[in-house]
């Protein structure tokens, strides 16, 4: 990934649970913005501009709902063993920010990603890792959960890459949303399904079919990281994270609901100069593309069909 950032995945394919770690080299600056109504996070307050830590040593995405936050201990262990962390008089203290998705009702809900799985993801981490779809924390993800998990479509892990000269940006997303995922033309490409496996539209379902009271409230979340090699401070990165949420809104309808824990991390490696307004614009574009990549590269699992199977059956 950008600026020597490493990505590592670990999964239990029987339980359909997993985690994804982003190992950040020294000097990387980070920020975070939470917009969903039901987040599950760890060490995100430290990433606000007014706090003293410029960035974490690692960011973890995990399945398992709040239970999955425990997996961060495995990342802490890995970092400690490698002498990495925030410098203190007693030695480095690893700073690990984390966020989780709710996937306990997909696969085996009794299995939760823990420290051992996250440690495995750290060991496997590489700058060249490009696995998508049913990878890492995306293995148990679903989208279009407006009518319940039984009528949803498979979510997953997606990546979007932008290069222009020396400037680079990458966005990665774990998509486990209450709403549908839509293409650039606004048509649903993955979401709540009708009796014939057709996409019926989450917003239409809410407003016309289910009314305002009788729909199934599901725990959902989209997790995003936007990485660039630009020189940015924490205040500027907060702007980038906000624009990352605009990318979620472009590709997921509805987004940022009371049932989503939508969280965007932004990181900068500080290698090249680039205008902030262009970086913000690209952040929204790349995040939307990463969200779409996640569902289009996902494979059917746990009885939940994937978009590629549904859309392929129509051609």
Torsional sign, CA 175, 300, 179, 182:
positive
Average pLDDT over residues 253-276: 95
**Lowest-pLDDT range, 86-90, 212-216, 288-292, 301-305?**
212-216
109: which DSSP letter?
T
Average pLDDT over residues 210-220: 61
Q: Is the pTM of this model over 0.85?
A: yes
Tell me the per-residue pLDDT of 155-204, one tens digit each, with 9 for 90 and over.
999 999 999 999 999 999 999 999 999 999 999 999 999 988 999 999 98
Q: How far apart are CA 203 and CA 179, in angstroms?
A: 8
Q: How far apart are CA 53 and CA 166, in angstroms?
A: 27
Instruction: Enumerate domains of the chain plus CATH numbers.
Output: 2-312 (3.60.70.12)
* Percentage, residues of the chain above pLDDT 70: 96
pLDDT of residue 216: 54
Helix, coil or strand: residue 208: helix
Tell which phi-psi region holds residue 7, choosing left (phi > 0), alpha (psi between -120 and 50) or beta.
beta
Cβ neighbours of residue 91 closer than 8 Å, sequence gap 6 or more: 85
How many Cα atoms within 13 Å fall on the side-chain side of residue 121? 35
CB-CB contact of 142 with 178 (8 Å) = no
Query: Which of the four pLDDT bands, split at 50, 70 and 90, describes residue 209?
Result: low
Tell me the per-residue pLDDT of 58-100, one tens digit each, with 9 for 90 and over.
999 999 999 999 999 999 999 999 999 999 999 999 999 999 9
**Residue showing tokens 């590629």:** 308
CB-CB contact of 250 with 264 (8 Å) = no
The mean pLDDT of the chain is 93
Which long-range contacts (C-beta less than 8 Å, at least 24 apart) are formed by 275-282? 276/232, 276/236, 276/239, 279/169, 279/228, 279/230, 279/232, 279/236, 279/240, 280/239, 280/240, 280/242, 280/243, 281/243, 282/162, 282/169
Which long-range contacts (C-beta less than 8 Å, at least 24 apart) are formed by 205-212? 205/146, 205/147, 206/146, 206/254, 210/146, 210/147
Query: Which of the four pLDDT bands, split at 50, 70 and 90, describes residue 313?
Result: low
Query: Which of the four pLDDT bands, split at 50, 70 and 90, describes residue 128?
Result: very high
Query: Which of the four pLDDT bands, split at 50, 70 and 90, describes residue 312?
Result: confident
Check whether 214 has a pLDDT greater than 60.
no
Tokens of 228: 């660039």
Cβ neighbours of residue 89 closer than 8 Å, sequence gap 6 or more: none
CB-CB contact of 263 with 32 (8 Å) = yes
Q: How far apart are CA 276 and CA 283, in angstroms?
A: 10
139: which DSSP letter?
T
Average pLDDT over residues 197-221: 76
CB-CB contact of 77 with 114 (8 Å) = no
pLDDT of residue 315: 38
Q: How far apart are CA 199 and CA 130, in angstroms?
A: 29
Query: Which of the four pLDDT bands, split at 50, 70 and 90, describes residue 207?
Result: confident
Tell which phi-psi region holds residue 88, choosing left (phi > 0), alpha (psi between -120 and 50) or beta.
beta
pLDDT of residue 230: 97
* Percentage, residues of the chain above pLDDT 90: 84
């Amino acid at each position: 990934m950008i600026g020597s950032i490493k990505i590592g995945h670990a999964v239990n394919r029987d339980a359909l649970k997993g985690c994804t770690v982003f190992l950040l080299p020294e000097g990387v600056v980070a920020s975070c913005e939470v917009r969903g109504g039901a987040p599950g996070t760890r060490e995100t307050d430290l990433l606000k501009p007014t706090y003293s830590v410029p960035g974490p040593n690692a960011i973890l995405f995990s399945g398992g709902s709040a239970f999955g936050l425990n997996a961060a201990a495995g990342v802490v262990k890995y970092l400690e063993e490698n002498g990495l962390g925030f410098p203190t008089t007693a030695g480095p203290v690893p700073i690990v920010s984390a966020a989780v998705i709710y996937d306990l009702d997909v696969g085996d809900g009794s299995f939760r990603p823990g420290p051992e799985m996250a440690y495995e993801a750290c060991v496997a981490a590489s700058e060249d890792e490009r696995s998508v779809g049913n990878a890492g924390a995306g293995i148990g993800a679903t989208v279009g959960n407006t009518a319940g998990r039984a009528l949803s479509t498979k979510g997953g892990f997606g990546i979007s890459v932008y290069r222009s000269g020396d400037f680079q940006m990458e966005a990665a997303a774990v998509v486990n949303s209450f709403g549908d995922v839509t293409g650039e033309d606004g048509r649903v490409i993955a979401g709540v399904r009708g009796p014939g496996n057709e996409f019926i539209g989450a917003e239409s379902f809410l407003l016309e079919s289910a009314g305002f009271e009788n729909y199934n409230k599901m725990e959902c979340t989209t997790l995003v990281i936007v990485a660039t090699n630009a020189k940015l401070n924490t205040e500027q990165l907060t702007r980038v994270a906000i624009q990352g949420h605009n990318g979620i809104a472009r590709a997921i309808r509805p987004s940022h609901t009371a049932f989503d824990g939508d969280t965007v991390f932004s990181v900068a490696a500080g290698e090249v100069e680039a205008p902030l307004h262009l970086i913000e614009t690209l952040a929204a574009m790349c995040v939307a593309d990463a969200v779409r990549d996640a569902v289009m590269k996902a494979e059917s699992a746990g009885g939940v069909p994937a978009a590629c199977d549904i859309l392929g059956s129509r051609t």
